[in-house]
């Protein structure tokens, strides 16, 4: 399981938290079935946005990222998210991106213009059902330029980008430069977990461009298709209809919420809905989630034993049915006893 991790330039908001809590639940449900799950969650600590944020505070990008990573780890621990087995960082995988770029050049899937290596991406938007205009619009939301004058096709993206004055750069056969965003994840996933993944998770907004190009690069390198056999694209968290993001100034930080409410109540709020559903955050919903958590604890105290029953089977069936947490919670609250304890433990709400 590859979990598309953070770019550590701000502390954790609820949009981040929703993705990582759902990824954690997916792994926990599989482990409940006796499946061995090996989780890799990356850290994108080589990124223009990170560099800009560090510069605004007068910090070095690496030290700035380390502070933000500490805060992220604290927030994940509060929310009961299990640490991954692997946590590759982009700055440790620059050499692997160079290798990826060289191999894609040799395979004819890439080309060079000056100190930049471009990936042939003409067919990538169509892979996710987009035309070029729609793809360009989505890419622009991440500051990704379509139609660069050096590119052969508007949808081509850099695997390796020529360095710019004043930014961190690394040596390569094409001169000093730095990895492209999509190539970083492709290199980290391939290096850590191999040519194909059973499950790839991340926010729904990353479906394009990030995940589409990551998968296309990996498949062009290895010839193994599909790169990910299943995807868990977690729905976007909004505030008054606008995506929660630093650029819109509407962030709700995990640390602020858990200072006033039980962390388990926030985890319950994030989970009590279909995982792919976009939704609007309402502060009043935290009080409702806290009250429901209390009811679940009360229900769990009813009855003895932890044996299998029709109710525990119903909980497991719901969780296996596309991670239907709302149904599992409803069964747990009504049946109580072992079914409630199973639900609370599997969802890490205790």
Long-range (24+ apart) CB contacts under 8 A made by 81-85 are 81/20, 81/21, 81/23, 81/24, 82/24, 82/27, 82/28, 82/39, 82/348, 84/3, 84/39, 84/40, 84/41, 85/38, 85/39, 85/40
Q: Enter the tokens of residue 271.
A: 């989970």
Q: What is the pLDDT of residue 221?
A: 98
Q: 167-194, pLDDT tens digit by residue?
A: 899 999 999 999 999 999 999 999 999 9
Alpha-carbon distance of 37 to 330, in angstroms, equals 27
Q: 249-271, pLDDT tens digit by residue?
A: 899 999 999 999 999 999 999 99
Find the mean pLDDT for residues 126-144: 90
Q: What is the pLDDT of residue 258?
A: 96
Q: What is the pLDDT of residue 147?
A: 84
Q: 295-339, pLDDT tens digit by residue?
A: 999 999 997 777 789 999 999 999 999 999 999 999 999 999 999
Alpha-carbon distance of 108 to 92, in angstroms, equals 26
Q: 87-98, pLDDT tens digit by residue?
A: 999 999 999 999
Q: What is the pLDDT of residue 288?
A: 96
Q: Which residues have CB under 8 Å from 310's CB, separation 6+?
A: none
Find the mean pLDDT for residues 202-228: 97
Alpha-carbon distance of 80 to 277, in angstroms, equals 22
pLDDT category, 65, cuts 50, 70, 90?
Answer: very high
DSSP 3-state assignment of 234?
strand
Mean pLDDT over each residue of the chain, to the nearest integer: 95
Q: What is the pLDDT of residue 145?
A: 79
Q: What is the pLDDT of residue 161?
A: 96
Backbone angles phi, psi at 330, to 5 degrees: -65, -40
- Tally Cβ neighbours within 10 Å of residue 301: 11
Q: What is the pLDDT of residue 144?
A: 80
């Amino acid at each position: 399981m590859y979990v598309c991790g953070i770019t550590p330039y701000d502390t954790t908001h609820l949009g981040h938290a929703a993705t990582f809590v759902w990824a954690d639940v997916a792994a926990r449900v599989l482990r409940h079935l006796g499946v061995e799950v090996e989780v890799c969650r990356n850290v994108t600590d080589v990124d223009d946005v990170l560099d800009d944020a560090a510069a605004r505070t007068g910090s070095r990008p690496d030290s700035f990222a380390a502070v933000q990573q500490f805060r992220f780890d604290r927030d994940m621990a509060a929310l009961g998210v299990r640490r991954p087995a692997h946590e590759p960082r982009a700055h440790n995988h620059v050499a692997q991106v160079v290798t990826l770029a060289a191999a894609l050049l040799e395979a004819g899937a890439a080309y060079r213009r000056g100190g930049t290596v471009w990936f042939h991406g003409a067919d990538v938007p169509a892979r996710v059902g987009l035309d070029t205009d729609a793809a360009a619009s989505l890419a622009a939301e991440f500051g990704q330029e379509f139609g660069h004058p050096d590119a052969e096709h508007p949808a081509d993206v850099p695997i390796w980008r020529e360095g710019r004055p004043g930014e961190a750069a690394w040596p390569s056969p094409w001169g000093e430069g730095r990895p492209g965003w999509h190539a970083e994840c492709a290199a980290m996933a391939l290096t850590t977990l191999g040519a194909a993944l059973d499950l790839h998770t991340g926010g729904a907004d990353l479906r394009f461009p990030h995940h589409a190009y990551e998968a296309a690069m990996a498949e062009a390198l290895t010839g193994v298709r599909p790169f990910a056999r299943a995807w868990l694209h977690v729905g976007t968290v909004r505030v008054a209809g606008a995506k929660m993001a630093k650029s819109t100034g509407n962030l709700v930080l995990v640390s602020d919420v858990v200072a006033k409410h039980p962390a388990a109540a926030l985890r319950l709020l994030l989970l009590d809905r279909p995982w792919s559903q976009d939704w609007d955050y309402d502060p009043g919903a935290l009080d409702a989630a806290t009250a429901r958590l209390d009811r679940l604890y009360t229900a769990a105290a009813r009855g003895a034993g932890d044996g299998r029953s029709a109710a525990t089977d119903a909980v497991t069936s719901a969780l296996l049915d596309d991670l239907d947490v709302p149904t599992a919670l409803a069964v747990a609250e009504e049946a109580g006893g072992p079914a409630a304890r199973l639900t609370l433990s599997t969802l890490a709400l205790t």
